[in-house]
């Protein structure tokens, strides 16, 4: 998959919820075709927003606890966590600019 940091049930709190910087979480699964399409777009976001936003991936099959807690029903779901809460999210494979706009990263 992409070159993004993987998180799971065990380290989600440490990596995402208590992060000093906003975190974009890609909820995905290995069998999800649209998830594969969105991965390169997230790589672009990671590069463009380096130092301002962390971008990580959570495999819902490997970490169903977190996905269930946040009510993730469709994948890919890309969520922006700020201060431990979901501030915005985008569902479905979208190009980078749509993801950035949907998450409110552009201002």
- What pLDDT, in 10s, does the model give residues 50-76? 999 999 999 999 999 999 999 999 999
Domain residue ranges of the chain, discontinuous segments joined by +:
5-103
Termini Cα distance of the chain: 29
* Residues identified as active-site: 32, 35
User: What would the mean pLDDT of 80-88 be, rounded to a whole number?
Assistant: 97
Q: CATH says 5-103 is which class?
A: alpha beta
71-90 burial, b at 16+ Cβ within 10 Å, e below that, comes to ebeebbbbbbbeeeeeeebb
Closest-CA residue to 21 (of 78, 83, 79, 70)? 83
Which pLDDT score is estimated for 2?
Answer: 59
Whether residue 11 is predicted with pLDDT greater than 60 in this model: the reply is yes
Q: What 3-state class would DSSP assign to 14?
A: helix
Whether residue 3 is predicted with pLDDT greater than 90 in this model: the reply is no
Residues in the chain: 107
């Amino acid at each position: 998959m992409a070159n993004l940091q993987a998180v799971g049930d065990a380290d989600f709190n440490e990596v995402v919820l208590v992060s000093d910087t906003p975190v974009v979480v890609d909820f995905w699964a290995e069998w999800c075709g649209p998830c594969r399409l969105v991965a390169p777009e997230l790589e672009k976001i990671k590069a463009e927003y380096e130092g301002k936003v962390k971008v990580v991936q959570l495999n819902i099959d490997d970490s169903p606890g977190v996905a269930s807690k946040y009510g993730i029903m469709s994948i890919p779901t890309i969520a922006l966590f700020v201060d431990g809460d979901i501030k915005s999210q985008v569902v479905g494979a979208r190009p980078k600019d749509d993801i950035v706009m949907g998450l409110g990263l552009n201002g």
